[in-house]
Structure 1
Amino acid sequence: MKSALLAMTLVGLSLTISDVAVAQQPKPNIVFVLVDNAGWGDFSAYGGTVPTPRIDSIAKDGLRFNNYTVEAQCTPSRSAIMTGRLPVRSGTMRVPYPGEGDFGLAPWEYTLGELFSDAGYATAAFGKWHLGEVQGRLPTDQGFDEWFGIKNSSDEAGYSSYKLFRDIGYPEPQWWESKKGAPPQPAGVFDKPAKDRGDEKITEHAVAFIDKEAKAKEPFFMYVAFLQIHPPMGVHPDFAGKSGGGLYADCLAEMDHRVGQILDAIEAAGIADNTIVEFSSDNATSPLKGASDGGSNGPWRGDFFNPPFEGSYRVAAMVRWPGHIAAGRQSQELMTAEDWLPTLAGLAGESARVPTDRPIDGINAADFVLGKQETSGRDSVLFFGLDGRLMSVKWKNFKVVFRKSDGIDEPITDVQVPMVFNLIGDPGEHFNLWEVSLDMGWVYRPVFEQIEKFERSVTKFPNIKTGEEFKGYSSR
C-alpha cells in the first residue's frame, strides 16, 4: 500500500515538475519574411531555374506548403496576414489609388504586431507596409515598436522620374521610420536608385534588430516585407548581370541573398533553435506587358491580374522551427494568408489572444504545422474580387468559378454557369468539367454552404467600408 502511495506521489511530482518545465520554456522568436510579387515557380525548391539555395533551405529544414494561397493584390494579402480576416471584411480588398483618401486597416483592427506586443514580445516591421499612410494606420500605430520602410507600394519609386510630377509639386516619396508613440519621420528620398538598394537597407535594419533583441534575451516578432520583385524592376548594383538570366533572375538572386543574411544573423545570435522563420510571397508574379523578362507561376493558370484562377492566388510558402517542425515535409493541405495570425499565435502558445469579438477567417493550423495532426483543418477558400464581390470558391481539390477576368485591362465578367475545375488533374484550369460531363452539380452543394456561412456572418458583422473610422460592432 505504501509503495503504491509512494508511486502515485512520485507520478504526481513528476507531472508537476514537467508542467513547470514546459511553462518555463522560452517563448519562440518569430521572423515573418514576405516578398513582393514572386511566383510559385520562381524558387528552385518549387522547380524554378534560378538557384535560390538560402530560401530553399527553409523548406529543407521545415515544412513546404504546395497549396498555399494569398489574395489578388498587395494590400488585401497583407491585410489578411496581419488580421486573420478576409480583406473584404476590413475594407482592404484592393490596392488604393493615390488621392482616394484614407484607406488601410482601421485602428480598431487587431494585428499580429498587437497580438505579440500584448504577449510581451518586442516587435518590429521593416519594409513595405501598404495598409494605410496616415497617423493611426501605420505599423507603429498597429502594435509594432519600431518601423523602417515605405508607407505604400514600391512603384512610387518611379514617380519622381516624371517631369510633370516634379513640376506640380507633389511630395517626393520617402523612406520612413518611427517608434511606437511617435509620429513617423522621413528617412531619405525613395526614388528608383533608392528602390534598387531598398532590400539591402531593409536587411540591415532586420539584422540589427535580431542582434539587439537576442542580446536582450527577450522574445521578438519581426515582420520583414521586402521590395523585390515589384515593378518598376531594378536590382542592387552588386547583383546586376550576375545571374546570367536577365534582370528578373538577378532580382531573385538578390532576394535569396537577403534572406540568407537574415538566416545567418539568426544563427550568429545563437537563437536558431528557438526561432520560427516563415517565408512567403504576397502575390503571384506579374509579367506586365513588355516589362519583364522572367517570372513563373508554375503550372497554374493566370498571373497577378487574372483572378479567379489559381495562378493569381497560389504562391510559395514555407516555415521552419528546428526541433519542433520536422525537416523536409511537404503538404498539399489547404492554407491561406488568413491562417497565419491564429497559427502563429498557436505555435507561440498565445492562442487566447486571438480576438473573439469579430469574425476570424483564419484557422489555427499549429498542430498540423507541428506534425501532430495530418490535416490543416481547412477545406475551402473564398476568393473575392477587387470590387468586394465573390469570384470563386476552392473546396477540397475543386475550384468553382462564378466570375472571371483575362487581364488587368479586361473586365470582370459573370459566367453563364459556374465553371468547375479539378485542380489535381487540371492545375492549369483548362477543362471546365461542365463541358465534359453534366454530373458535377454535387460540387455546388458544399460550395454554396460555405458562401451561405459567410453571408450569415456578414449579416451579423457587416463589412467595414474602406477608410471608415470603425469603432467596433457594438457601436454601430
Structure 2
Amino acid sequence: MRISCVMASLVGLSWAISPALAAEEAKKPNIVFIMADDLGNADLGYRGGQVSTPNIDKLASEGVRLESFYGEPVCTPSRAALMTGRYPMRYGLQTLVIFPSHTYGLALDEKTLPQALKEAGYKTLMTGKWHLGHADKKFWPQNRGFDYFYGNVVGEVNYFTRERGGLIDWQRNGAFLKEEGYYTDLIGDDAVRLIDQQDGKQPFFLYFASLAPHGPYQAPESAIEKYKDTPDKLRRTYMGMISELDVQIGRIVAELDKKGLRDNTIILFSSDNGGATSGLFAQGAKSNEEREHDEGGIEQGQKAPAINAPFSGGKGSLKEGGVRVPAFVNWPAKLKPRIVNEPLHMVDVMPTLLALAGGTGSPDHPFDGRDTWKTLAEGAPSPTDDVLINVEAFRGAIRKGDWKLIKIALLPGKTELYNLAKDPGETTNVAAENPDIARDLEARLLRYAGEQKPSLWIKAQPAFVGAQGKTVMDPDFDIDDGGLPQEKIAIPN
C-alpha cells in the first residue's frame, strides 16, 4: 500500500513537472538586433580589418557568420526591408533615402516587425536611428509598433549635439531632448538601462540602431587617439567611431549576462549597406558648402574612409561592396558556430524571427523573405530560389546561387553577369559567355520590376536620380558608381 502511494505521488509529481518543463522549452527568446550604419565589409577585426572590435569579434566567432548576406544600397530601403520582411519596391521605398524635405514614410498598411512581435507578447524597444519617415508622427517608431523609442528619426545628426540643419532631432517617445554626450554612448546607456529593467517574464525585442559609422565623421578624441598611427585623419576618426560602437555592444552583452538573460537571447548583427567609399554617399542631401562647415563633414568628390575589400563599389552601388554586408547571428544556447555562405537577404530576418517568436505577418502582404532557421542552425541550403538585391525604374540586381546579374536601364543601358564564387570583386562581365544564365536572371529581375510600386523618392524629386541632384541626363553620372574598385584603393598599413 505504501509503495503504491509513493508511486502515485511520483506519477502525480511528474505530471506537475511536465507542463513546467514544456513551458520552459517553449519560452520565447529575447531578441536584440544590432544595426550598424555604412560599415565597411573589411573594417571589423574578425574580417581582417584594422579596427579593434573584440566584442563584435567574439559574438561573430561564437555565432553563425553570414558571409553572403544582403542589405540594400542605402539606409532607408534596408531598414524598410528589415521592418517588413518585404522588398522595398513593394511600397515605393526602393530608391535612395528619405531626405529631411520629404513628407513620405514607410507605408502605414505594412505590418512591421515590432507590431508583429507585440501581437506575440513581446515588449518592443528601440534606441538609435529610424529613417523610415519623420514629417508626420504617424511614421514615428512609437506609432509603428515600438513601446519605447529613444533616438533620431531623420537620417543623420551631429554626434555631439544631435542637430541637423540647426534643428535638434533627438527624442524620447515624442518628447524632444537637448542632452550632453556622444550619440553612440547615449544609445548604449539607454540600451543597458532597458535591459536592466527586464525581469525575464515577458520576452523583449531591442532594436539597437546605431548611427555609427555613418557621417559626419565624429568621435571622442580618446577613441581617435587609439589609431594615431593611421596617417589619414578621416580614417582615424572613422575607426574610432567603430571602436565606440564595439564598446557599447560589449556593454549590452555584459548586461544580458548580468541579468541572466543571455541564454535566452538571440543577437543579430548587420550593417544596413556597404561602407561609403565616395563622398557623394557619405552624408545626406547636403551641398559641398554645408558639408565643409560640418564638423566631420566630407565633400562630394572626396574619398570616404570605409574599406569593402575584396568587393568593388560601396554605398549606393549595386556592386557587392554596396550591398553585401557583415552579418552574424549569435545564440549560444541554440546555435553552434558555423559559416553560412548561402545567399540571404534582410527580408529574411522578420519571417525567421516570427517563426521563433510565434508571431505572424499580414496575409494580404505576403513576405518576400523566408524562415531561414534551418540554414542558421543546420547549415541547410537557403530556402529562397533567388535573392532580389533591389530593383528600381532605372536599375536592378538579382542573385541566384553563385550568379549575379546587374541591369542598368538608363540609355544606352548595360547588362552585367558575374560568377561571385570565381569573381567576388565583379571584375569580369561574363554575360556574353553565359547567355542562358543571363536571360534567366534578367527574366526574373523583370518579373520583380513589373511588380514594383512607383518610387516615392522619384515622385518627390521628379527631375533627379542622383543623390545630390545630378540629373539622369548627365552623361558623366553613373548611378551604379559607389566608389573605385577596391584594387585601386591604397589600403593603409
TM-score band by shorter chain is 0.7 to 0.9
Say whether residues 1:370 and 2:385 are aligned partners. no
Q: 1:142, 1:231 → 2: CA distance? A: 26
Normalized against structure 2, the TM-score is what? 0.78
Q: 2:51, 2:374 → 1: CA distance? A: 33
Q: 1:147, 1:24 → 2: CA distance? A: 30
2:413 to 412, 415, 421: 415
- Code of the residue aligned with 1:65 in structure 2: it is L
Deviation per residue, 1:408-436 (Å, 9 max, x gap): xxxx66534x22111111111111114xx
Q: 1:232, 1:147 → 2: CA distance? A: 23
**Relative to 1, partners in 2 of residues 1:66 and 1:391: Cα closer, same or farther, differing over 3 Å?**
same
Structure 1: segments with no counterpart, 5+ residues: 1-13, 167-171, 179-183, 405-411, 469-476
TM-superposed CA distance for 1:131, in Å, is 0.4
- Code of the residue aligned with 2:104 in structure 1: it is F
Deviation per residue, 1:26-59 (Å, 9 max, x gap): 2100000001110111111112122211001111
1:135 to 126, 134, 137: 137
**Relative to 1, partners in 2 of residues 1:204 and 1:388: Cα closer, same or farther, differing over 3 Å?**
farther
2:363 to 356, 365, 373: 356
Q: Where does residue 146 of structure 1 map in the other structure?
A: 148
**Relative to 1, partners in 2 of residues 1:265 and 1:296: Cα closer, same or farther, differing over 3 Å?**
same
Q: Where does residue 234 of structure 1 map in the other structure?
A: 218
Q: Where does residue 254 of structure 1 map in the other structure?
A: 244
1:403 to 387, 404, 408: 408
Q: 1:243, 1:33 → 2: CA distance? A: 24
Q: Where does residue 463 of structure 2 map in the other structure?
A: none
TM-superposed CA distance for 1:107, in Å, is 2.1
TM-superposed CA distance for 1:320, in Å, is 0.8
**Relative to 1, partners in 2 of residues 1:235 and 1:160: Cα closer, same or farther, differing over 3 Å?**
closer
Aligned 8 A contact 1:80 1:337 in 2: yes
Q: 2:237, 2:158 → 1: CA distance? A: 20
Q: 2:83, 2:122 → 1: CA distance? A: 16
Q: Where does residue 46 of structure 2 map in the other structure?
A: 45
2:324 to 303, 309, 314: 314
Q: 2:78, 2:245 → 1: CA distance? A: 20
Q: Where does residue 471 of structure 1 map in the other structure?
A: none
Aligned 8 A contact 1:106 1:467 in 2: no
**Relative to 1, partners in 2 of residues 1:203 and 1:292: Cα closer, same or farther, differing over 3 Å?**
farther
- Once superposed, what is the RMSD of the aligned Cα atoms? 2.9
Q: 2:80, 2:149 → 1: CA distance? A: 17
TM-superposed CA distance for 1:217, in Å, is 2.5
Structure 2: segments with no counterpart, 5+ residues: 1-13, 231-235, 280-297, 460-493
3-state SS of paired residue (1:229): coil
- Code of the residue aligned with 2:416 in structure 1: it is M
Deviation per residue, 1:298-336 (Å, 9 max, x gap): 21111113x221111011001111121112x11110111
1:428 to 411, 425, 428: 425
Q: Where does residue 303 of structure 1 map in the other structure?
A: 314
Deviation per residue, 1:331-367 (Å, 9 max, x gap): 11011111110011123333xx122211321111012
3-state SS of paired residue (2:225): coil
**Relative to 1, partners in 2 of residues 1:43 and 1:104: Cα closer, same or farther, differing over 3 Å?**
same
- Superposition pairs for residues 32-111 of structure 1, below 5 Å? 32-93=33-94, 94-100=96-102, 102-111=103-112
- Code of the residue aligned with 1:29 in structure 2: it is N
Say whether residues 1:442 and 2:449 are aligned partners. no
**Relative to 1, partners in 2 of residues 1:68 and 1:212: Cα closer, same or farther, differing over 3 Å?**
same
Q: 2:421, 2:449 → 1: CA distance? A: 29
Aligned 8 A contact 2:59 2:330 in 1: yes
Aligned 8 A contact 2:80 2:132 in 1: yes
Q: 2:46, 2:220 → 1: CA distance? A: 24
Q: 2:411, 2:243 → 1: CA distance? A: 38
Aligned 8 A contact 1:131 1:137 in 2: yes
1:326 to 331, 336, 351: 336
1:347 to 334, 353, 356: 356
Q: 2:87, 2:366 → 1: CA distance? A: 9
Q: Where does residue 206 of structure 1 map in the other structure?
A: 191
**Relative to 1, partners in 2 of residues 1:125 and 1:464: Cα closer, same or farther, differing over 3 Å?**
same
Q: 2:197, 2:162 → 1: CA distance? A: 36
**Relative to 1, partners in 2 of residues 1:256 and 1:158: Cα closer, same or farther, differing over 3 Å?**
closer
Say whether residues 1:271 and 2:261 are aligned partners. yes
**Relative to 1, partners in 2 of residues 1:142 and 1:293: Cα closer, same or farther, differing over 3 Å?**
closer
Aligned 8 A contact 1:174 1:188 in 2: no
- Code of the residue aligned with 1:202 in structure 2: it is I
Deviation per residue, 1:138-195 (Å, 9 max, x gap): 1110111000000111246699999xx65xxxxx1231110xxxxx110116xxx85x
> How many matched pairs?
417
**Is the deviation greater in 239-248 or in 65-74?**
239-248
**Is the deviation greater in 444-453 or in 269-278?**
444-453
- Code of the residue aligned with 2:311 in structure 1: it is W
Q: 2:340, 2:303 → 1: CA distance? A: 31
TM-superposed CA distance for 1:72, in Å, is 1.0
Alignment identity in percent? 31
Q: 1:23, 1:448 → 2: CA distance? A: 49
3-state SS of paired residue (1:30): strand
TM-superposed CA distance for 1:16, in Å, is 12
Deviation per residue, 1:59-108 (Å, 9 max, x gap): 112100110110011101100000011111122222122223x2221222
Q: 1:160, 1:121 → 2: CA distance? A: 30
Q: Where does residue 176 of structure 1 map in the other structure?
A: 171
Q: Where does residue 394 of structure 1 map in the other structure?
A: 399
3-state SS of paired residue (2:178): strand
Deviation per residue, 1:186-212 (Å, 9 max, x gap): 0116xxx85xx0010001110011110
